[in-house]
Structure 1
Amino acid sequence: MFEEMERLTRVLCAEHGTSGCEDDVFEAAKRELAFCDTVTVDELSGVTGIFGNPDAKRRILLDAHIDQIGMVVTNIDENGFLRVTNVGGVDRRTMPGSPVTVYGKETLTGVVCTLPPHLMQGKEEKIKPVSEQAIDVGLSREEAEQLVSIGDRAVLTCTVRKLMGNRVSGTALDDRSGCACIIRAAQMVQEKDPDCCVMVVCSTREEVGGQGAQIRTYTLEPTEAIAVDVSFAKQPGAQNLNAELGGGPMIGFSAALDRRISKKLIRLAKENDIPYQLEAMGGRTGTNCDEIGVSRGGVRTGLISVPQRNMHTPAEVCDLEDMENIAKLIAAYIMDGKD
């Protein structure tokens, strides 16, 4: 039912792209945006596809970040273990015993070391900070130094898998799911020849500050923008959350967002029978909206979020129906000429 959305998600999540090292996933995004009139790749800001009327007064930016959290190698110790620190908000609780992919001169498979329970002598071991954990790639120090260098990246690895119903789980759904949504929306709209300029940006470095969206927004000079990221859905241990997986797009309200866009998204969801949920934030959103909205003289910006469980772990969970509905809502927004 959501074959194209699932395909896009799998293609994008299959490629490596920790913040600042997104080159591999850039190529995947570039291929998927080939239907645009122009596609450019910029190492600092990301992949941009542009179509529609380039001379139109209405210039709509669609943004989702393409980078993922991960680790960077800081040292190789005397036993050949790789010492690392985090790139973005890696959840250290998920690390011990987890499989890892290391991107050195060759792509290596490793595992995060953990002390077996038999050796803990009845004492509960606290999870160490990322910088105090180590990756075992099965090599001596001399062998490891031939293949891995300080500055190389590593990620906890779990390929995207289908769960029951419309749900998928895997690594990098934050925010490759958002990238899949904006590309899918662009596919829907491009066929209708919109009388506006549509700029689709899969941006870099959101997990370390949002620099990619900030740079690209300044260059493109949009008149309005919608960013798609992930946000928290209900799960065990977090009963205070309101959003449901499968409940539809999460439309954001915040002091950092344009209220007119948020209201318009609600109107369009109702008119097009798209289920939706509301998310209220007091100030900053923690997404690229915070950088996009203050570019140049300011950009009217809206936020739509994909409900997600297990954020910043190797087993993030999203619902393909939510993602398809986000694409439909964005497409309706682009084609609607009313405020």
Structure 2
Amino acid sequence: MDLQKLLFSLSETSCITGAGTATNVVFDTVKRFAPDTFRDPLGNIIAPVKKAKEGRPHILLEAHMDEIGFVVQTIDDDGFVHIGKVGGPDIRVLLGSEVTIFGKEPVYGVFCCRPPHLSSKDDYKKVPELDELAIDIGYTHDKAVEKVSPGDYITLRQAPAELINGLITGKALDNRAGVATVLRCLELCAEKVDCGLTAAFTLSEELGCRGAVTASYTAAPTHAIVVDVSFGYTPDAPKEKCGKIGKGPMIGISPVLSGEVTSVLFEAAKANNIPYQTEVMGGETGTNADSVSISRGGVATGLVSVPLRYMHTAVETIAVSDVENTARLMAAAAEQIGGGKNV
């Protein structure tokens, strides 16, 4: 599997609560490992790789597919599009950004940006509210309403790119990096894990982890490993709350996670010489692991995260090696649990 090629194909597609083409890429790719893959009523993709056996572990590997974005609210008399947010986009960097509106056909636009010559010193000191922003699609009002309607979804528009030192940048790597990790993990372990194994690629994480609730209920696992992204260190961020890009997966430690599964993740990393970091949380993780862990009668859940810089922007940045090492870690842990590790 060419991880960088997969990551690029996932990043350049779109998916807000199921709207967009990213789900098709995931569905077509995972069917290689699970021919009986299906979509549930919420649009989650559930891939039963190995059938669960009574009295044996059943492992769920989970990553969310959806990305942050916007929704059309109104179109004003001059043809400018006014919006609401879907999830938590970083409003600080929107001015002048390119977007795609999924109307009757894709419509490209840019966030309006006042010229610096017309801006006051005070303007530079504040972040605009979302309702102060608009998108320019180049149409008059009459032409705009032929193409775009209230309720149409909008994503940031940015082609993925390769940086130096094994880094890549693009939109929606939160959490297409996790999606690629699960797919790579299946390539590594689908034939080796000696127990039930299901992969779930979920929607609506950015809206409160809704997709993980139904997907984990449907899958009914005994154990789960959830993969998401977490904060990658930059000089303007608190070092103690961040991981370092290129230094391996961040293993989550939290009271809502299973101590036993977390221990297996640490053991698997050490036994297989996989570089890792830790991420300690005093309560909920803010990921789908929170929902998966309390599905049905409870699921022993672990969390691993890929360090990512510039979260919820169009230039999210990761190291491809971190995706590979996270997949290796998940595969090794799944093999341990499936091999009878007492978890």
Deviations 1:260-307 (A, max 9, x none): 111111111000000000110000000001111111111110000000
Query: How far is 1:122 from its partner?
Result: 4.7
User: Residues 118 and 46 (structure 1 numbering): CA distance in 2 closer, same or farther, change over 3 Å?
Assistant: same
Instruction: Give the structure 2 partner of residue 41 of structure 1.
Output: 39
User: SS of the counterpart of 2:239?
Assistant: coil
Distance 1:60 1:236 in 2: 38
**Which runs of structure 2 are paired with 1:88-167 in the superposition (5 Å)?**
88-125=87-124, 126-167=126-167
1:184-223 to structure 2, matched below 5 A, reads: 184-192=184-192, 194-223=193-222
Aligned residue for 2:2, secondary structure, equals helix
Which amino acid letter does the alignment assign opposite residue 73 of structure 2?
T
**Residues 1-339 of structure 1: pairs in structure 2 closer than 5 A:** 4-18=2-16, 20-35=17-32, 36-55=34-53, 57-125=56-124, 126-192=126-192, 194-241=193-240, 242-336=242-336, 337=339, 338-339=341-342
> Match for 1:207: what amino acid?
E
Letter in structure 2 aligned against 1:249: P
Percentage of identical aligned residues? 39
Instruction: Provide the C-alpha distance between the structure 2 equivalents of 1:89 and 1:44, rounded to a whole number of angstroms.
Output: 21
Offset, 1:43: 4.4
User: Does the 8 A contact of 1:95 with 1:156 survive in 2?
Assistant: no
Distance, in Å, in 2 between the alignment partners of 1:166 and 1:174 is: 18
- Distance across 2 between alignment mates of 1:293 and 1:332: 21
What SS does structure 1 have at the residue aligned with 2:294? coil
Which whole-Å deviations, capped at 9, do the CAs of 1:119-155 have from their partners, x for residues lacking one? 1255434331122210000000000000000000111
Q: Please identify, of 154-163 and 266-275, the stretch whose mean Cα deviation from structure 2 is larger.
A: 154-163
Unaligned runs of 5+ in 2: none
Q: Which amino acid aligns with 2:109?
A: G
In 2, are the aligned partners of 1:248 and 1:325 still within 8 Å (CA)?
yes
How many residues in Structure 1 have an aligned counterpart in Structure 2? 335
Q: Which amino acid aligns with 2:278?
A: L
What SS class does the counterpart of residue 195 from structure 1 fall into?
coil
Question: CA 1:15 to 1:43, structure 2 compared with 1: closer, same or farther past 3 Å?
Answer: farther
Alpha-carbon distance change, 184 to 218 in structure 1, aligned in 2, over 3 angstroms: same
> Could you tell me which amino acid in structure 1 is paired with residue 210 of structure 2?
Q
Q: Amino acid of the residue matched to residue 196 of structure 2?
A: C
CA distance in 2, matches of 1:239, 1:334: 32
Contact 1:69 1:90 in 2 (8 A): yes
Deviates more, 1:20-29 or 1:223-232: 20-29
The structural deviation recorded for 1:324 is 0.2
Deviation at 1:54, TM superposition (A): 3.5
Gaps of 5+ in 1: none
Contact 1:22 1:66 (C-alpha < 8 Å) held by counterparts: no
Output the CA distance in 2 between the equivalents of 1:314 and 1:161: 11
Give 1:296's aligned amino acid: R
Q: For residue 55 of structure 1, what is the amino acid of its counterpart?
A: K
| Amino acid in the other structure paired with 1:247 | K
Query: What's the RMSD between the two structures over aligned residues?
Result: 1.4
CA separation in 2, counterparts of 1:123 and 1:50? 56
Structure 1 CA distance for aligned equivalents of residues 262 and 161 of structure 2: 33
1:42-67 CA distance string (max 9 Å, x none): 24151111112443521100111000
Partners of 1:259 and 1:54 lie apart in 2 by 23
Is the 8 Å Cα contact of residues 45 and 211 (structure 1) preserved in structure 2? no
CA contact (8 A) 2:250 2:276 kept: yes
Q: Distance in 2 between matches of 1:16 and 1:62?
A: 22
**1:295 is matched by which residue type in structure 2?**
S
> Could you tell me how far apart the structure 2 residues matched to 1:224 and 1:134 are?
45
SS in 1 for 2:297: coil
Q: Is the 8 A contact 1:17 1:25 kept in 2?
A: yes
Q: TM-score w.r.t. structure 1 length? A: 0.95
